[in-house]
Amino acid sequence: MAVIKLFHELLLLRKNQWKSKKQIKELQNVKLKELLVVAYRNSAYYKELFHQAGITEQNIKNVALSDLPTIDKTTLLERFDEVITVSDLTQEEMRAFDKEETISKKILKDNYHIVHSSGSTGMPSYFLYDEAAWHQMLLGIIRGALWNMSLPQMIKLLIKGPRIAYLAATDGRYGGVMAVSDGIEGLNAKEIQLDINQPTKEWIKK
């Protein structure tokens, strides 16, 4: 993210804090309906699921949130390739990319950011973001980090480059560490990964 572009987008997001509760709910509802249409048009699994629930593209924007069908992790893993809304990627390709490439290689097929869960309940779940979705997610994280700062403070920080400490597991493509790594780059800061199992003198060398 270029700093000027980032700052402009942060300002646009900050305007949402002045919206009324009703306006925020209306905005959330609009975004949800847009997402449902994307899922209906591009996910074979969700289109099938919606049809089973009597939901069509014509009435999907009028369906109550409580009437939407749900999905569990087992189904997601078993039918992943039908669930996702892109046709040029499979779960097998994502797992192969994660297994064969180090986390320093962040993007698959020049477009997809891949992250996964810890797999504490069995097989890890994988999640993918295209560049636009990843950018929006990072913007939300950065907004949260800078939320209580005044505009002059934000400008000064973004120009100078912040110093950030973040503790996380780095032995996989976990969402937190991958997002923070890219977010740090977006804030014009330098990233240094330090192993907490190493003595501090090793940190100093870095």
- Tens-place pLDDT, residues 10-37: 788 878 888 999 999 999 999 999 999 9
Place of tokens 């810890």: 118
Contact 98, 113 (CB under 8 A): no
Main-chain dihedrals φ then ψ at residue 2, nearest 5 degrees: -70, 145
CA 187 – CA 162 distance, rounded (Å): 7
Q: Are 1 and 131 in contact (CB under 8 A)?
A: no
The domain tally of the chain equals 1
pLDDT at residue 1 above 60? no
Q: What tokens appear for 155 in the block? A: 């400008």
**137-155 tens-digit pLDDT:** 888 877 777 777 777 887 7
CA-CA distance, 7 to 177, in Å (whole number)?
Answer: 22
Q: Which residues span the domain enclosing 37? A: 3-205
Cα–Cα dist 84/170, whole Å: 26
For residues 187 and 104, the model is more confident at 104
What's the pLDDT at 29? Answer: 92
Whether the predicted pLDDT of 80 surpasses 90: yes
pTM: 0.76
Question: CB-based contacts of 90: which residues, under 8 Å, 6+ apart?
Answer: 80, 81
